[in-house]
């Protein structure tokens, strides 16, 4: 079945992302080059991106031939505008064609809504990246400076001798800028273009010369400069991983307490085996007063506590140590862990 003339078959029914999803798409576009830092932006990058915009978004095809786009400087435009129509038939540029001229007077930008940068050339954290060198975990801060806003003005001219070709370009421009601005992405950075003015430079009054239409579209790119040399990577937190090997052998808490009583005299022997704990707690079963410390072996300090109060500290008893029935006694020794240690307390008991 034949498709009616003018029937559209290439209508785009896919809705673009909006809101949070759109902002995330922009961020992904900035940092999609395999690095954690964005790419820098220079005037040349913006020129290339603007030319691509004109070629792809404003370009038209006439009789199956793509209309050529020429990027010229102010000087080359002056020479070109005076000599192009005097070239011979082999060098003459055939109409239609589009030219782009960038004004050299780059102005302070409005990309930041008229706000000024904070003075001092400060850098700001763009991303925190975890690091690991096999032994230490840390975080690197990727920092970039504030971009420098610039306004760049481009003059786009359409040269043609047919009004319908001019209408095609004009219609495209009106649709692209019906929302005030159109975004391009130099090195992945979204920047708006504003349509400032539409003018006419047509040469149709002089009947002796070649007659043609020239329509001027003045556009302003609200861009910014970002120098990669100003980017910084600052190492911050480093955390050392400490690995401790623990043996399966548990300390043997063997402590022997042997009181020997003869005729109201008592000799209490305390023996701490090699590898044992160095503290022994017990409940006193009778009233006793100790006046001597004997046979101290492999011990360089002894503390004795009665009901959680230290009553002796050292190796020589100078005042009697009194222990009553049901007192909580704490014996603590300071020794070499791998040696057997012991000592004796000698005194009297009250039956």
Q: Three-state DSSP class for 348? A: strand
Token pair for residue 156? 């786009």
Token pair for residue 28? 């992904």
Q: What pLDDT score does 87 carry?
A: 47
Q: What is the pLDDT of residues 259-311, one digit of tens each?
A: 888 888 889 999 888 878 888 888 888 888 999 998 988 888 999 999 988 99
Q: What is the DSSP string of 90-114?
A: TTPPPSPEEEEEE-S-PEEP-TTTT
Q: Three-state DSSP class for 153? A: strand
| Cα(278)–Cα(255) distance, integer angstroms | 9
103: Cα separation from own chain's centroid: 37
Q: What pLDDT score does 233 carry?
A: 80
Q: Three-state DSSP class for 209? A: coil
Other C-beta atoms lying within 10 Å of the C-beta of residue 250: 7
Q: What is the pLDDT of residues 221-237, one digit of tens each?
A: 999 998 888 888 877 76
List the one residue out of 263, 238, 256 whose CA is nearest residue 344. Answer: 256
Q: What pLDDT score does 47 carry?
A: 92
| Cα(98)–Cα(58) distance, integer angstroms | 9
Residues of the chain with pLDDT under 50: 86-88, 207, 250
| Cα(42)–Cα(228) distance, integer angstroms | 10
Q: What pLDDT score does 82 carry?
A: 54
Q: What pLDDT score does 257 carry?
A: 84
Q: What pLDDT score does 119 carry?
A: 78
Q: How many CA atoms lie within 13 A of 116 on its CB side?
A: 4
Q: Per-residue b/e over 125-136, b at no fewer than 16 CB within 10 Å?
A: ebeeeeeeeeee
Domains detected in the chain: 19-113+148-229 (3.30.2000.40), 255-350 (2.60.120.10)
Q: How many CA atoms lie within 13 A of 45 on its CB side?
A: 17
Cβ partners under 8 Å of residue 47, min gap 6: 71, 102
Query: Contact, 297 vs 273, CB < 8 A?
Result: no
Residue 153 phi/psi, 5-degree rounding, is: -100, 130
């Amino acid at each position: 079945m034949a498709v009616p003339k003018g029937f559209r078959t290439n209508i785009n029914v896919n809705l673009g992302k909006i809101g949070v999803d759109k902002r995330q798409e922009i961020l992904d576009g900035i940092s999609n080059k395999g690095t954690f830092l964005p790419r820098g932006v220079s005037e040349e990058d913006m020129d290339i991106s603007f030319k691509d915009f004109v070629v792809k978004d404003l370009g038209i095809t006439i009789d199956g031939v793509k209309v050529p786009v020429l990027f010229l400087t102010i000087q080359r435009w002056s020479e070109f505008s005076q000599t192009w129509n005097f070239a011979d038939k082999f060098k003459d540029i055939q109409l239609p064609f589009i030219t782009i001229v960038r004004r050299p007077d780059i102005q302070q930008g409005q990309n930041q809504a008229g706000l000024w940068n904070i003075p001092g050339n400060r850098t700001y954290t763009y991303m925190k990246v975890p690091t690991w060198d096999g032994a230490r975990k840390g975080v690197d801060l990727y920092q970039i400076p504030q971009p420098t806003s610039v306004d760049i003005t481009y003059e786009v001219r359409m040269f043609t001798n047919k009004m319908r070709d001019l209408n095609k370009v004009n219609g495209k421009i009106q649709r692209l800028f019906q929302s005030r601005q159109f975004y391009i992405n130099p090195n992945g950075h979204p920047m708006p273009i504003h349509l400032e003015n539409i003018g006419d430079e047509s040469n149709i009054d002089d009947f002796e010369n070649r007659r043609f239409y020239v329509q001027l579209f003045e556009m302003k790119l609200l861009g910014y400069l970002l120098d990669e040399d100003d980017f910084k990577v600052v190492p911050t937190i480093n955390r050392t991983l400490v690995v401790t090997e623990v043996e399966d052998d548990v300390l043997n808490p063997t402590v022997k307490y042997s009181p020997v009583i003869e005729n109201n005299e008592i000799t209490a022997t305390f023996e701490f085996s090699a590898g044992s704990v160095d503290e022994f707690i017990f409940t006193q079963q009778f009233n006793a007063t100790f006046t001597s410390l004997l046979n101290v072996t492999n011990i360089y300090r002894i503390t004795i506590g009665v009901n959680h109060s230290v009553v002796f500290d050292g190796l020589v008893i100078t005042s009697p140590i009194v222990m009553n029935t049901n007192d909580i006694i704490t014996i603590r020794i300071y020794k070499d862990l791998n040696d057997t240690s012991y000592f004796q307390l000698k005194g009297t008991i009250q039956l």
